Structure 1
Amino acid sequence: MSIETALVAGADRTQRRLSLSPRAPAFVQDPYQAYGWLHAHMPAFYWQDYGFWCFAGFDTVNRLLRDRRFGRENRWGPPAIVGPDRAHLADFDAVEARSLLELEPPAHTRLRKLVNRAFVSRQVERLRPRVEALAHALIDRFVDKGEADLLPAFATPIPVTVIAEMLGVPVEMGDRLVAWSNRMVAMYTLTQDRETEHDANRAARDFAAFLRGYVRERREAPGDDLLSLLIEASDDGEQLDEDELISSVILLLNAGHEATVHQTGNAVRTLLAEGGDPRRFFETPEATAATVEECLRIDAPLHMFTRYAYETVEIKPGITVNPGERIGLLLGAANCDPAAFSAPRRFDPARADQKNVTFGAGIHFCIGAPLARLELQVGLKVLFDRLPGLRLAETPRYRDIYHFRGLERLNVRF
């Protein structure tokens, strides 16, 4: 069944209700067809598969991201990812409960102030030579083979190595860190079986146990790294207790690579689809920055960001949410809203209406955005400078992981 057929069949336009599985193969591979239909017919709708109101328009999403009547913190009990029986998710929930991403002021303000000092643009810019050297070193490993899967060979090692080095966590632990992260992130797909839940809980338990041991080592022998800085702050008084520290580090390690890996793959796919010499997109620093922004807009790595209502809010006429109810903000759809962008599905780094909500907005704007932008700018430029003849070895397919968006593989030849 085509996406348009599924939309027409599953939509009640009078009641603004939609039944459409985010795991439908056609939707997984190209959600933008659905977004285009929604923009035209139902930009605000109740997504029955999720059980909450969702919003696709750029202006509405941008406004709601900044609206303090909504927040990430669940003030009514355990996260509503699965049913009420969550005893088997105790370790996972313990990590989530103290995560910077899931908190609101004043706890959020305190944690973000501590962590933010390592991610401001002037600090991140110092990492540019390291990222460039790393990108070259990775390409050196596979350049003579004539082919590679760029996801494990290039897209993953750059952000994993950089965030591990920033935190002072052993870089050789990279594969294990990625595995723990992937197993935890599986909890955010729409449906999980019991084994996925148990596996995510084991990953959270093992991840936290490793970090607690490493924190003990760092207390005894501090280094010049973010983890030591956070430990020192927690020792100074009412800054970070150990649970907050562990949750913060897990979030930084997970978020520090997950989205950038997906975005690197998505960007390579986007640029190769344009044809011609890809180096033309990276001729100057300004062109490189503009290219990355357009890649972030046109095929973002995160397509939904949920928030809780903290009071009764009429979002639009006929759409009122009550305290404790969630809403879904469709970042990927907002970035392609024809009311906000001229020819939104056209790749145009020079567009005059360049803007996106890929990193969110408001107090939960992604703390790692400057780092992600730098890694993408440097990594993509080095990749295409070194391998201008890069071409797809097969048509890449997207993973069934909505609301994230990333490729299964990125097999290329050069």
Structure 2
Amino acid sequence: MDLSSTVGGGHSRLAASSHDPALYADPYRTYAAIHRAGGTVFWEDLGHWCFAGHARVNDLLRDRRFGRQILHIATREELGMAPPASHVKDFDAAEAHSLLELEPPAHTRLRTLVNRAFVSRKVEGMRSEIEALAHNLIDSFESDGEVELLSRFGEVLPVTVIAWMLGLPATDGPKLLAWSHAMVRMYLFERTREDEVAANTASRAFTTYLLERIAEKRRRPGDDLLTHMITAERGGERLSDAECVSTAILLLNAGHEATVHQIGNAVRTILESDRDATTLFRTAERTAATVEECLRFDPPLHLFMRHVLADCEIDRIALKKGERIGLFLAAANRDPVHFEEPDRFDPDRTRKDHLSFGAGLHFCLGAPLARLELQIALPALFARLPGLRLAQKPQVADTFHFHGLERLDLFW
């Protein structure tokens, strides 16, 4: 990918098209070039600065001069933003109270009321249930000798687990997946009007479904996250129905989409490496180390956007309030200044401080759950399916928000 002449502060311009299939197929070649050029580039196609160095990305994730939201401190008119599009109003409403997009104090209040369900000890209590689910799924295709892993395993496991946590019927998994897939298409670089209309329709159906479930939980409370969100109180405040809906949708969409892609990316990484899978999961400690290296080596989230909340200067670049910056999380994980031989898959490496779950205020709420699912799913697959191999070269999906595979065909 092309890095052209220097601009602002002596940094380079990235001329690669954000629509180029080659960028999705192997983004790490571009990240390596960005690191060689100093780690900071102006991406012409997106029209803003992007940062790739581990130290810089880690700092910016924690820097309160940058945020996921900006309309809490400025109007659309002040920022020159177009008014909201009417044909995606239901999608916008479903996202209005998303933890991923909020800033304090709204973010602090909402996260505090939800966080208890995702602490490590709470999540660990689900281990036996998740293990049983993983093995039941493998039972359904083990004798076939082949499988498309994402549809038969990768998608089903995380959406079922999130449904359990929320107190939703596991049998609703297929429609939850359909709504999730439609909504996530809003993050395509080249999304169409049809994509937007489909996402809006899915958002409306998803919201209606969740409001019905919330009403049921009020009548018949259970020991689940949705009931907890309805009844939890802090400082005399409770979550509104709209806040509960946005939070449940975020947990289902992000918790499902990211883990699906991480399972696929991890299996591909291991199969394409020179490592013997039987040694990678020999003990709990080895399994945990392998999972962390898979998360570092090829994570599902590559680019995280931030708004500039106050005029400031970073790396000799003057940034103005209202501008946007991009943080290359996956590139930070391949920073040669921070990680020795970053392009080598090495579960034995001592540094584990990847940024795949972010950092700071918006550190991934579901990180303990994602880690547990991977620590269960990967050993189960390689133990139950000896001789596991790629049936064909996997194709990377063309998505903005999540980096993953279109499909993963395997045989054994």
Q: Same fold per TM (> 0.5)?
A: yes
What does 1:248-397 align with in structure 2 at a 5 Å threshold? Answer: 248-275=247-274, 277-317=276-316, 319-397=317-395
How far 1:190 moved relative to its partner? Answer: 2.2
Runs of 4+ in 1 over 4 A off after TM superposition: 82-85, 234-237
Identity across matched positions, percent: 54
Letter in 2 for 1:314: E
CA distance in 2, matches of 1:38, 1:236: 47
CA distance in 2, matches of 1:252, 1:402: 19
How far 1:41 moved relative to its partner? Answer: 1.3
CA distance in 1, matches of 2:198, 2:38: 37
Residue deviations 1:339-367 (CA, integer Å, cap 9, x gap): 11100000111112222000000010000
Letter in 2 for 1:139: I
Closer/same/farther in 2, CA of residues 266 and 161 from structure 1, 3 Å limit: same
How far 1:77 moved relative to its partner? Answer: 5.2
Q: Which residue of 2 aligns with 1:105?
A: 104
How far 1:274 moved relative to its partner? Answer: 1.7
Per mean C-alpha deviation after superposition, the further-off stretch among 286-295 and 272-281 is 272-281
Whether the aligned pair in 1 keeps the contact of 2:155 and 2:260 (CA below 8 Å) is: yes
Classify the secondary structure of the residue corresponding to 2:118: coil
Classify the secondary structure of the residue corresponding to 1:23: coil
Q: Check if 1:53 corresponds to 2:49.
A: yes
How far 1:97 moved relative to its partner? Answer: 1.6
Classify the secondary structure of the residue corresponding to 1:224: coil
Q: Which residue of 1 aligns with 2:93?
A: 94
Letter in 2 for 1:324: G
CA distance in 2, matches of 1:313, 1:227: 41
Q: Which runs of 5+ in 1 are unaligned?
A: none
How far 1:280 moved relative to its partner? Answer: 0.9
Letter in 1 for 2:285: E
CA distance in 2, matches of 1:77, 1:269: 45
Q: Which residue of 2 aligns with 1:13?
A: 6
Residue deviations 1:286-323 (CA, integer Å, cap 9, x gap): 00000000000010100011111111110111x12111
Q: Which residue of 2 aligns with 1:399?
A: 397
Letter in 1 for 2:387: G
CA distance in 1, matches of 2:26, 2:378: 23
Whether the aligned pair in 1 keeps the contact of 2:113 and 2:234 (CA below 8 Å) is: no
CA distance in 2, matches of 1:354, 1:225: 32
Whether the aligned pair in 2 keeps the contact of 1:167 and 1:227 (CA below 8 Å) is: yes
Classify the secondary structure of the residue corresponding to 1:102: coil
Closer/same/farther in 2, CA of residues 199 and 25 from structure 1, 3 Å limit: same
CA distance in 1, matches of 2:341, 2:6: 25
TM-score by length of 2: 0.95
Query: Considering only aligned residues, what root-mean-square deviation do their CA atoms show, in Å?
Result: 1.7
How far 1:388 moved relative to its partner? Answer: 2.1
How far 1:177 moved relative to its partner? Answer: 0.8
Whether the aligned pair in 2 keeps the contact of 1:61 and 1:334 (CA below 8 Å) is: yes
Whether the aligned pair in 2 keeps the contact of 1:119 and 1:370 (CA below 8 Å) is: yes
Q: Check if 1:226 corresponds to 2:225.
A: yes
Q: Which residue of 1 aligns with 2:62?
A: 66
Whether the aligned pair in 2 keeps the contact of 1:13 and 1:42 (CA below 8 Å) is: no
Q: Check if 1:130 corresponds to 2:123.
A: no
What does 1:128-167 align with in structure 2 at a 5 Å threshold? Answer: 128-167=127-166
Classify the secondary structure of the residue corresponding to 1:308: strand
Letter in 1 for 2:123: V
Letter in 1 for 2:64: R
CA distance in 2, matches of 1:337, 1:18: 17
Residue deviations 1:32-72 (CA, integer Å, cap 9, x gap): 00000010015111212112111011100000000111111
CA distance in 2, matches of 1:50, 1:315: 18
Q: Which residue of 1 aligns with 2:171?
A: 172
Letter in 2 for 1:325: E
CA distance in 2, matches of 1:366, 1:285: 23
Q: Check if 1:29 corresponds to 2:13.
A: no
Q: Which runs of 5+ in 2 are unaligned?
A: none
CA distance in 2, matches of 1:163, 1:294: 24
- Out of 35, 38, 47, the position equivalent to 1:39 is 35
Per mean C-alpha deviation after superposition, the further-off stretch among 51-60 and 274-283 is 274-283
Whether the aligned pair in 2 keeps the contact of 1:234 and 1:241 (CA below 8 Å) is: no
How far 1:14 moved relative to its partner? Answer: 3.8
Size of the aligned set, in residue pairs, is 404
